[in-house]
Structure formats: C-alpha cells, structure tokens
Amino acid sequence: MSIIKINQGEKNEKVIGFADEENRVFKKTVLASKHLFRKYDSFGIDALYFTNILLARNYKIIVWEKEENIVYEITAKKFKEKGFFFTFKGHGSQIFCARKNWDKIKKDNYDARETSKKYFL
C-alpha cells in the first residue's frame, strides 16, 4: 500500500489517499462535514491523479466516511461516467461523483477501528 500525495515537494503538498497498485484499489478517508461537496452530494478526487492513474487502470475507489461510518465503493470507469470536473480555489481541478452512484456499505454497530483495519490498512 502506497501513500498518495499531490503537489509533492511544494508547501501545499497533501496526502489524498492510499493505493494498492497490485490489486488496483485506491482508498481514501473523509469527513462529510469537511470533504462533501454539499451542493451535489459528492466526493472528489484530484483530477490529474484520477485521470492518469485511477481511470487509466480502472481502479476500484473506496471512500470511508468516518462520521457516519459508511464505506462507499465505485470503479474509476463509473466514477468518470457519472462524475463532473470542478475547481475549488486552492485545491486544483478535481472530479466529483454523487454518493447516489456509489455502492454503499453501512457499518451499523461496527467499530470504526475494525472498519479502518479492513479497508485502510
């Protein structure tokens, strides 16, 4: 599992997730209160990384929303088909996909540490 960073070596360097290249899986942890694009009920991914890596190799994308303890899954191909590009000032171009297009795994009565172990370690 590799740590994925954007803007490496710059002052705005940022970790955007983790990639398992062998199994073509990209994993990302988010807080809906901070990362959800509310107007479109969507989560986003850096557009360059998405296009050059995730879409090019049709990765599975897994997002763990920690506040509600929900895991969302989607293929990069479907993410692109259903998604749209948007640029927030200071964050660069991103591609977003509405939560209604993702497969959702609700983790009721499931310890967040266990979710983390299963999906993010």
Residues 19 and 59: beta-carbon distance below 8 Å: yes
Give kind and range of the element (H or E) at residue 33. helix 32-35
Check whether 80 has a pLDDT greater than 50.
Answer: yes
pLDDT in tens, 9-32: 888 888 999 999 999 999 999 999
pTM, full prediction: 0.86
pLDDT in tens, 32-69: 999 999 999 999 999 999 999 999 999 999 999 999 88
Confidence of residue 121 (pLDDT cuts 50, 70, 90): very low
Check whether 91 has a pLDDT greater than 90.
Answer: no
- Residue 9 CA, chain-centre distance (Å), reads 22
d(Cα 89, Cα 26) in Å, to the nearest integer?
A: 25
